[in-house]
Structure formats: C-alpha cells, structure tokens
Amino acid sequence: MTSSSAPAPASSGASKPPGLLRRLTARGRDEAHRVSSPLELFFDLCFVVAIAQAGGQLVHAGAEGHGATGILNYAMLFFAIWWAWMNFTWFASAYDNDDALYRVVTLVQIAGVLVLAAGVSRAFQQHDYLMVWLGYVIMRLAMAAQWLRAAGSASGAERSMALRYACGVLLCQVGWLGLVVLPGPVRPWVFLVMAVAEMCVPLFAEKGSGTSWHPHHIAERYGLFTIIVLGETISAATVAVKSAVDEHSALGELLPTAAGGLLIVFSAWWIYFVVPIHGHLRSNREAFLWGYGHFLIFASAAAIGAGLEVAVEQEVGRTHISALSAAAAVTLPTALYLLTVWALHSRHFKVGITQQLVLPVTALLVICCTFLGHWAVPAAGLVSAAAVTTGTALTARTARGERTTSGTASAG
C-alpha cells in the first residue's frame, strides 16, 4: 500500500522498450493513458489459481458441515494471497520499470503463489501450513528484494521509506514461522497478530513519505482483479451444475439455483463498476481504507462461488447439511459483498437518503432470503437484480434533475 503524498517524477520507466537492467525509479502520478501491463494481467491470473484452491476447500468444508472451521481456514489463506497481490499491485503502480530483472522477480512471486496454492488442501485438511508458508515466504522475499532495489535507486526520504518497507516485510516472515512450528490451537492467534503486523508495515513505512502510485491505474488493477474473481465464481458454479446434471440428471431442480446465482454475480459486477472510483482516491487515508477494505470484497466474491457449489450439492443430495445452511453459504457472502462495496465507494456517489439506503437494505433482504430454503438463491438473485434496477433508475432521475436545474439556471 502506498501514499499519494509523494512527488511525481517525470520519468516513466515502463514506457521505454524492455531492457536488461535499468534504475528502478519512481514513475509519475500524472502519466497519461496508464493501464495494466501484460505482466500484471498474467500475475492476476496466476493468483486466481490459489483463490480457486481456497474456494474449493471452502466448498468441501461447508458441504461436510464444518462451516466455522472452513471459514477460519479460508480467511487465513485468503489473507496471504490477497496481501501478496495487493503489495505487488501498489508497488508496481509506483515503480514498474519493466526491465528484465523486474520481470524475473515478478515471475518469482508468481512461482511463490503457485507453491502456496499447492499447499492449500493440506492446510485445510491436515492443518499443515509448511507449503503455504514456503510459498508466502518466496513471494515476500521477492517483494523485499524489489524494495531494496528501489532503495538503491533513491535518496533521502524515499530511500528511507523503501528500506522501512524491506525491513518490515523481512521481519514479518520470521513471525509467520509460528504457523509451522507452534501447536495447532495457537496458530489462529499467530495469524491474527501477524496479519495486523503485516498491515502496519505500510503505515510505518510511509510515515512522512509515500510512493507515487497512479490513481487510475490502481482503480483499474482492483477492478480487473474483481472481474477475474467473479469469473472464477461463475466457473465454479458452472462446474458444480454440470457435475450434478451428469450424475443426477437434475437440471430442472437446479435451474432456479443456477439462474439466481447468475443474477447475483451479474449484479455484483454492475454494482462494483457503476462508479468511477479513481477520482475518489486522492489522499493517503482514503487509499489505505479503500485498499485494505478490498480484502472483504475479494474474499466475499470468491466465497459466493463456493456457496453456490454448496447449494448445488445440497439440492442433489450430495451433502447432508440443511437447506438453511446451504442457503446461508450464498446469502451471507453476497450480503457482505454488497455492504463492503457500498461502504468503500458506492456511498460516495449517492445523492440523498433513498440512494444511500439501496445497497444496505438489499443486503438485509438478501440475508432474509436465507430462510426461504431451496428458493433462497433465486430470491437473493431477484433482490440483487432489483437493487441494480432501482439504483439505476434513481441515478438517472437525479441526473435528469441536475440537468433541468442547470438548464434553468443557464436560461436565467
């Protein structure tokens, strides 16, 4: 995570042709047409592999009636994935020079997340975090190397900031070793302490000086990752429906659930992208809150897909959990997604109490749908779609009112 308070150097390393080695200097915050690079898109796709593994294990835990344990393990593993992704994203927005060394170190981080993904099932089923810890360490050591390289090309306050980042990242890796060597009952507490410590590193490192991240680029990066996670949700639900139909020929029974799930995902996409959030990312405080809060957006979006899989398995009798539990696996992450998107940026673009209440009320109604049993997912989908329709109509009416007022004022 980074601050917007840093000066904006005119240099733009990534705009030059790729070279073997260049100075890793800060990019300008006012670069025109700044977009995600092919390496960043590849990075995102590889990280979604780990998210898919975590979501799959959450499905198994929910289907077996171990929802609470599954959610705890999912939160711990998702944090490691999200935090490594987020740190790279903000660093790249400020320092991506696209030379050969930068690319190689980024590919090392991708290798790390694949190692982490390979250890997800052992972490869920056997509480063995060795592979997860090893993959995380690979990613974080590569990130520390990037910060040390940035420090070598900087001076003064910027150099001190980069060194604080590198030291903070390296020190945290020692603490994470507790997940491997300490007894099982202690590990959730180790996770809690270390997660807080990790999130404090940017706050400490950027005190008094920050990096020159690009607001439009950051908003695009988060938006693209949201799309990829929602796409993984659709993929997971499709595989679940296909499997159920192949084994049980239950297409008629599953159609309402499939349609409801599709409406939920479509609505989730619409609600996230209805506002141009890059214009809101102006200060250090806004950037930290918005960036950190996306843990809940990404985690809940991925959990919706896991919940839809659980709901499909419950419909065809492949699990012995109740219809209420299966419904909650979809409605609760959906409600969390709606509330978090509203809190982080939708509310900043709403005019009047009616517009402000649309998403919170929708989240409450989605939770109420839980008690409809087998019809919970279709009902939640209809409620989500109604929220999109209502929000769009209210926004259009407000826009017409503003144009009318502006035209009257101009005529006067």
| Cα distance between residue 121 and residue 117, in whole Å | 8
Assess whether 136 and 230 both reside in one domain: no
What's the domain range around 64?
Answer: 36-212
pLDDT of residue 19: 62
SS3 32: coil
The CA–CA distances, whole Å, from 284 to 5, 94, 380 equal: 7, 14, 36
Assess whether 116 and 189 both reside in one domain: yes
Mean pLDDT to the nearest integer, 206-215: 79
Assess whether 170 and 228 both reside in one domain: no
SS percent in the chain: helix, strand, coil, step 5: 80, 0, 20
Check: CB of residue 333 under 8 Å from CB of residue 290. Answer: no
Lookup result for tokens 């020159």? 212
Of 197, 212, 227, which residue is a domain's last? 212
SS (H, E, C) 330-359: HHHHHHHHHHHHHHHCHHHHCCHHHHHHHH
Residue 5 — very low, low, confident or very high, per pLDDT cuts 50/70/90? very low
Mean pLDDT to the nearest integer, 385-406: 72
For 356, what's the count of Cα atoms within 13 Å in the CB-facing half-sphere?
6
Q: Percent of the chain beyond pLDDT 70?
A: 88
pLDDT in tens, 267-287: 999 999 887 776 667 666 677
Where residue 403 sits, what CATH number does that domain have?
Answer: 1.20.1410
Q: What angle separates helix 67-95 from helix 38-63, to the nearest 10 degrees?
A: 170
| Cα distance between residue 327 and residue 334, in whole Å | 11
Assess whether 208 and 221 both reside in one domain: no
pLDDT in tens, 39-96: 999 999 999 999 999 988 998 888 888 888 889 889 999 999 999 999 999 999 989 8
Sheet strands (E) in 87-210: none
Check: CB of residue 88 under 8 Å from CB of residue 106. Answer: yes
Assess whether 144 and 57 both reside in one domain: yes
* 391: enclosing H helix or E strand: helix 376-411
pTM for the predicted model, two decimal places:
0.87
Assess whether 130 and 251 both reside in one domain: no
Q: What angle separates helix 284-315 from helix 323-344, to the nearest 10 degrees?
A: 160
Q: Smallest Cα–Cα separation from 264: which of 181, 356, 387, 84?
A: 387
| Residue 343 domain flag | yes
| Residue 96 domain flag | yes
